[in-house]
Amino acid sequence: MPAQHRRTYSAVYEMALASSFTVVPFIAGLLAGNENAFRFLALPGGLAVTVIPVIVYFVLPESPRWFLRKGQLQAAVDSVNLIIARTGNKMPPLTLEALGEHREVAPEPLPPYRALFAKGQLRWTTVGILSGICAGTAFFLISVLLPKALNDQGFAVSASLGLTSIVYAASFFGKGFTGFLMEIIGRRWTIAYALTGSLPGLALMLLSHRAGDYAGVMMVAGGLIMGFTVLSAFTATRVYLSEQFPTALRGRGHIFGESFGRLFAGGFAPFLMEPHTGSAPIFFGTIIVVVAIGAFIPLVFGRETVGQLETVTEGVPALA
């Protein structure tokens, strides 16, 4: 994705995820108490197997570079023209004559994984991964454990799932706003805003059990704030992680960063926190500490990329 389109695509992608995350707990809340609820929730995933391959085969265009590598020049031209047509025919179609002479291109060898930790790159790899881990830990503690935490702290199951759905509904708008903001104040400050902006919401949820009749109002308000901020951070954190790596290393770096981050945020952190969901100070207090740390990592140790990472890592010419 060209640098000028990364924030837009990231926002659209994340808003699509937010839509699905909103629907699932809402349906789960409606099915709470139904002995076949787990079967109904598994059904859409099973049906997707019959839909996704059709979409991929008939809608997703093949890479023109792949056709060139196979020596299929006309197929490469047709693929480019399909992309041009779908984007409004804003440029003239490509012709086989304009493509010129092309021999079969041998695949370029990818840099080794150790290049992620090479001198001049290690710092950016670490900053990108740690930023993702902090945002991801807050996300997974909320998505995986929030319904259980609310239930353990006195909320009904259906109310817990309903509140979780409200939180994710707020993230739909928050992710769009984060995508807009990251091109104005930069990736780092947007990440800092998204994480620190959740602190008032987390504080409301932490203290709601002391509010008596207003506990529900405080929970909903806190959830809306949290959804609009920390759950919307991924529009920026995913782009920022990707931009920590030069073009040749970006594919491996982003996959490694996401995988390593999810191993901790999606596996280790929920495993450690599950026994403590009944304690509001421990559960919400832990998230407060995590987002506070994550907000300052890119500010203190990172550099602004704004889609121009090669200017940051130009000291590594072999990879740039």
Residue 17 and residue 21: Cα distance in Å, rounded?
Answer: 6
- pLDDT for 137 equals 94
Task: Give the tens place of pLDDT for each residue, 166-210.
Answer: 888 899 999 989 988 888 888 999 999 999 999 999 999 888 878
Residue 307 and residue 221: Cα distance in Å, rounded?
Answer: 34
Q: Is the pTM of this model over 0.85?
A: no
CA 298 to chain CA centroid, nearest Å: 17
- pLDDT for 301 equals 95
Residue 233 and residue 131: Cα distance in Å, rounded?
Answer: 10
Higher pLDDT, 191 or 163: 191
Domain boundaries, the chain: 61-99, 111-312
Which contacts of 173-177 are long-range, i.e. CB under 8 A and separated by 24 or more positions?
A: 173/228, 174/227, 174/228, 174/229, 174/231, 174/232, 175/11, 175/14, 175/15, 175/18, 175/232, 175/234, 175/235, 176/11, 176/15, 176/235, 177/228, 177/232
Task: Give the tens place of pLDDT for each residue, 23-73.
Answer: 877 887 778 778 887 777 777 777 777 888 888 888 777 788 788 877 788
Average pLDDT score over residue span 143-171: 82
Q: Phi then psi for 121, rounded to 5 degrees? A: -115, -25
- pLDDT for 105 equals 54
Residue 41 and residue 100: Cα distance in Å, rounded?
Answer: 53
Residue 146 and residue 164: Cα distance in Å, rounded?
Answer: 7
Fold for 111-312, please state it: Growth Hormone; Chain: A; (1.20.1250)
* Residues 6+ away with beta carbon under 8 Å from 102: 68, 73
End-to-end CA distance of the chain: 17
Highest mean pLDDT among 58-72, 138-152, 179-193, 305-319: 179-193
Task: Give the tens place of pLDDT for each residue, 60-105.
Answer: 777 887 888 777 888 888 888 888 888 788 888 888 887 776 555 5
Average pLDDT score over residue span 209-235: 88
